[in-house]
A and B are shown apart, each in its own frame.
Chain A
Amino acid sequence: MKQLIKLTLIVIALGSTLSSCTNKINQTGSWLVGYDSTLVPRVIDSITDSMKVTTSQYSTQLFTGSSDSLAVGSVPWTESDLLFEFYGIDSVYYATTIYSAKVTFERAGYNLQPPGYNVRNLRFVGYPMNSSWSETGVSWDSVLAKGHSGQNVILSQSMTDTSLSLNIDTSIVRQWANATQDTSIRNFGVILKPQNLSGILSLQSSVVASGYLPKIEIDCLVNGVQDTLVASTSYSATVSKTSIQNVAPQGPYRIVQSGTGLREVLMFDLKRIPDYSVVNNAELTLFADPKDSLYSGNGPDSLFAYYVTDPASHSYYSGLLLESVQVGNKYTFSVTIPVQKMLNTGNYGFIITRASEYDNVDSRFIYNEFAPDSLKPKLTITYSPVVKR
């Protein structure tokens, strides 16, 4: 009996030793469970055939990133209007004569000036607004709905390197002064509109440091004494409309524009990638046309890519900064995680922005799906298709 037990133990030990010590990972027959069966990396180039533009409205509020910057002016694809309303002018009510009124804005220093354009050549008109507006929530469409008088109150203008001054019709200033005492008279401010295509001028708003606030200087006669009353309490806002004409879908470009809130969506057709695939690597490549591009030198000359999380609002996930690497006019982004998210939760495209949208109005013209093949946006994906068994 003991011999049998010994023999049994020897056999068990032999079997276990064979299986544990001589076992080598198999490198044979991998094609039985490998290619076309389970995980395989593949590369798909240039999925650009169904790239779509989803910023269909082409209308947006001018966006300077904070309320301390305003923008007014016009370029071929964008018009930006400025709203201002001074309310600290109660003492003017007692003026018997108003000789002149001058509104001055300090320049913020960031301008959109395509080649051949100069903001110094901007000419403006100003129309009294017909109804009230607020700094928050005002938009191009809401201003359009409120309407204005259509009567220009800008008598003249002057611009220096640091400021923009507007001479205002004194009759409207008198109206504003009376409105401080008579509730039947209203002061809804003025909308300042560009008259020509000379670029977009950035100005300091009504919430900046006191030395840079917009102000109104009113030369008037009060109690028989000529005096200049200065008020720097005001409301201000900017609304704009961007009308794309030479970019997608008509032209070969897609614009990446700071300062305007204009954000187009790049969408690639990912349907050809099998469900449940694991994305090993994804790279987005964009090509820019240097012509008409603007770079102010404020902030890096790079782009960010975000993936859109809500197709209705075009909101995007901002927790993942994907900054481009630029070589010449070629921008590349590592977008492995966004593409995986798109496959898992829905493909709503990329939003491409300038690296800094707040301190400049720089622009880049990116070739779109109508460009030659070599310049089209390209999404290169290495992925591992997965079958369920």
Chain B
Amino acid sequence: MKNRILFCAVLFYASSAVLAGDGSPLTSRGVGAFSSFAGSWSAGMGNSGLALSGDGVLNGLNPATWVGLENAQFSGAYDFSGVNSRDNTNGLTSYYANGNFGGGIFALPIGRSLGISLAAGFTPYTSYEFKINTPYDSTPGIPAYNYGSTGSGGLGEGFVGFSLSPAPGVNLGGIFQFAFGRTETESTIDFTGSGYTNSYSNNSTYMNGTSGTIGILLDSLDKLTGVSSLKGFSIGGYYKFPYHLRGNAVLQNLYEDSLYSPSSQPVSGYIPAEFGIGIAKKFSQSFVAALDVRSQSFSKYWDTFTAAGSLKDALFLGGGIEYLQGRQIGALYQKRIWRAGFYYQRTQFVLPTTSGANMQVDELFATAGVDFSMSASSTISISAQYGLRGLSSDLLLREKIFRLYFSFTMGEGWFYRPEGD
């Protein structure tokens, strides 16, 4: 147990030592880039898993999958992201990397016969993270200057939820979510030795709101439908209600020698509903495959500073496989879970092309991951993703992105009466 505590301490220290975020200037749109992924294990199999359940699997998207929990569990995650951007407007490429705390979930099965589990936690919801510094040559009337823009923050999401299984093979779940957080943009213009006054501006926007998610998981489809060919199939889905955000925005400018707040105003926003559906097939005790489709009508997104229609509807398609190695091996630590997958996403972002037209940005990622057992109910999960954002060569900005996730899941057999009592 001491080792686990030490491990967690190291994990959280490392998380706090680096900044959070995606790193792409695209995250400056709205409240940032949304991160609707189920967990580090899911990242290894193409961010899929809406129809998967089981011990060691804490799916933050679909609460109905919690019915499979055998032990009280805590899962903490750490994310690393490296973005290599190519700007077709100037031919420059650059690399931006950062890491962040990927959230923590605590789940507690309290009635296994009815699949009743409770869970609570905190996960990042949006990432507003970029750092840009571009030199501009002197132009008529304006001396040379460096333009800098740094975005930080985003929304986090705290939640509490439950799952239950009212009938064999029918599992339901619900989550109450509270999103809150601050996006902050620091913009600077630095003139070097020209006698011009530098610009500094800080825009800080805080918003919060509530939402909810309902989920369903139908496993043992063969028994539910009476169709034997559906043996091993499960299907799951979720619907996340819209967020109505409220908050406040403060603008601060640096005028000569004092920071001045010329503007402070209430703000609001709307994050559209999100839904997804997934299927999974358990081919054997060791081999599982999953496929998810998710959608969110971001064209309805708006906030005080972002007009509706600025973003486009997003569509996600991802799938993966999972293989349990060493199932028959006696030594616990020799067991491995290997995962692989892919996902394609038509993101909500829009970029101009070389022809001047606007095009919705899509991305394609290959994923892989592995879980190591640390005990009968505790695992460490490491996943990696590599892909391209901006598949069309016409886009003015294309990004190669590498992501690394790892999470630690601890399980304990709480509330179980010891045998013999």
Give A residues with C-beta under 8 Å from B. 1, 3-5, 7-9, 11-12, 15-16, 18-20, 22-34, 38-39, 41-43, 275-276, 278-281, 334, 336-337, 340, 344, 380, 382, 384, 386-389
Given A15-B99, A276-B263, does the pair A388, B85 have CB atoms closer than 8 Å? Answer: no
Contact present for A25 and B99 (CB under 8 Å): no
The chain B residue sitting closest to A386, CB to CB, is B201
Q: For A32, what are the chain B residues with a Cβ–Cβ distance below 8 Å?
A: 25-26, 28, 397
B229 within 8 A of A: no
Lowest 7 CB-CB distances: which A-B pairs, in order?
A: A29-B25, A28-B87, A28-B85, A43-B141, A15-B80, A384-B199, A30-B134
Say whether B198 faces chain A, with CB atoms less than 8 Å apart: yes
Q: How far is the CA of A192 from the CA of B83 in the complex (A)?
A: 85
Given contacts A11-B406, A26-B94, A30-B25, 17 further A-B contacts (CB under 8 A): A12-B14, A15-B80, A16-B17, A24-B94, A27-B133, A29-B130, A29-B132, A30-B147, A34-B132, A39-B199, A276-B253, A278-B197, A280-B196, A334-B195, A340-B256, A382-B142, A389-B249
- Provide the B245-277 mask, 1 if CB < 8 A to any CB of A, else 0: 000010101111000101101000000000000
For the complex formed, measure the closest distance between the CB of A6 and the CB atoms of chain B, giving whole angstroms: 11
- The smallest C-beta distance from A319 to any residue of chain B, in angstroms, reads 13
What's the Cα separation between A22 and B99 when bound, in Å?
Answer: 13
A389–B306 alpha-carbon span in the complex (Å): 9
Q: How far is the CA of A384 from the CA of B46 in the complex (A)?
A: 44
Which residues of the partner chain B approach A384 to less than 8 Å between Cβ atoms?
189, 199, 201
A23 to B262, CA, bound (A): 34
The reply on B231 being an interface residue by CB < 8 A is no
Contact B251 A12 (CB under 8 A): no
List chain B residues, Cβ under 8 A from A41: 142, 145, 189
A26 touches B85 (CB 8 A): yes
24 A-B contacts (beta carbon < 8 Å): A1-B3, A5-B6, A8-B7, A15-B78, A18-B80, A19-B98, A23-B98, A27-B90, A27-B134, A29-B132, A32-B28, A34-B134, A39-B189, A42-B142, A278-B200, A280-B199, A281-B196, A334-B195, A344-B255, A382-B141, A386-B187, A389-B183, A389-B185, A389-B205
| B227 proximal to A (CB < 8 A) | no
Residues of B near any A CB (own CB < 8 A): 3, 6-7, 10-11, 14, 17-19, 23-26, 28, 78, 80, 82, 85-87, 89-90, 92-99, 130-135, 140-142, 145, 147, 149, 151, 183, 185, 187-189, 191, 195-201, 203, 205, 249, 251, 253-256, 260, 262-263, 265, 304-305, 333, 372, 374, 380, 382, 396-397, 404, 406, 408
Chain A residues with CB under 8 Å of B197's CB are: 278-281, 336, 340
Residues of A within 8 A of B6 (CB): 5
Give bound CA distance, A18 to B83, whole Å.
11
Say whether A33 contacts B25, CB under 8 Å: yes
Least distance between A354 CB and chain B CB atoms (Å)? 25
Considering residues B80, B188, B201, B382, which has the most beta carbons from chain A within 10 angstroms of its beta carbon? Answer: B201
**Contact (A27, B132) CB under 8 Å given A39-B187, A278-B197:** yes
Number of A-B contacts (CB under 8 A): 204
Is the pair A388, B249 in contact by a Cβ cutoff of 8 Å? yes
Q: Which residues of A contact B256 (CB under 8 A)?
A: 337, 340
B380 near A8 with CB under 8 A, answer yes
Cα distance A20–B99 in the bound complex, in angstroms: 9
Are B189 and A33 touching (Cβ within 8 A)?
A: no
- CA of A1 to CA of B188, assembled, Å: 49
Complex Cα distance A131/B265, Å?
60
Provided the pairs A5-B7, A38-B185, A344-B262 are in contact, do residues A25 and B18 lie with their beta carbons within 8 angstroms?
no
Given contacts A281-B197, A340-B255, contact A25 B203 (CB under 8 A): no
Q: Check B98 against A280 for contact (C-beta < 8 Å).
A: no
Determine whether the beta carbon of A25 is less than 8 Å from that of B404: no
* Interchain CA distance A186-B58 in the complex, whole Å: 105
Residue of B nearest to A31 (CB): B89
Question: Which residues of chain B come closer than 8 Å to A23, judged between CB atoms?
Answer: 95-98
CA A74 to CA B27, docked complex, whole Å? 71
CA distance A96 to B394 in the complex (A): 112
Tell me the complex Cα distance, A382–B138, Å: 13
On chain A, the residues within 8 Å of B263 by CB distance are 275-276, 388
* Alpha-carbon distance between A344 and B96 when the two chains are bound, in angstroms: 37
Given the complex of chains A and B, what is the CA–CA distance between A313 and B181 in angstroms? 48
Q: Would A27 and B260 count as touching, CB distance under 8 A?
A: no
The reply to whether A16 and B99 contact each other, CB–CB distance below 8 Å, is yes
Cross-chain contact A39 with B141 (CB below 8 angstroms):
no
The smallest beta-carbon distance between A87 and chain B, in angstroms, is 53
In the complex, chain A residues whose CB is within 8 Å of the CB of B141 = 43, 380, 382
Q: Which among B28, B191, B205, B372 is the interface contact of A280 at CB below 8 angstroms?
A: B191
- In the complex, which residues of chain B have a beta carbon less than 8 angstroms from the beta carbon of A9? 10
For the complex, give the distance between the alpha carbons of A39 and B190 in Å.
11
Q: A25-B131, A32-B397 are in contact. Are A19 and B191 (CB under 8 A)?
A: no
B295 shortest CB reach to chain A, Å: 25
Residues of A with C-beta under 8 A to B380: 4, 7-8
Contact B99 A19 (CB under 8 A): yes
A38-B260 contact given A11-B382, A32-B26, CB 8 Å threshold: no
A28 adjacent to B130 (CB under 8 Å): no
Given contacts A4-B372, A33-B25, A33-B28, A27 and B253 within 8 Å (CB-CB): no
Q: Nearest B residue to A336 by beta-carbon distance?
A: B197
**Structural contact, B305 and A5, CB atoms closer than 8 A:** no
Given contacts A4-B380, A30-B132, A389-B205, contact A280 B333 (CB under 8 A): no
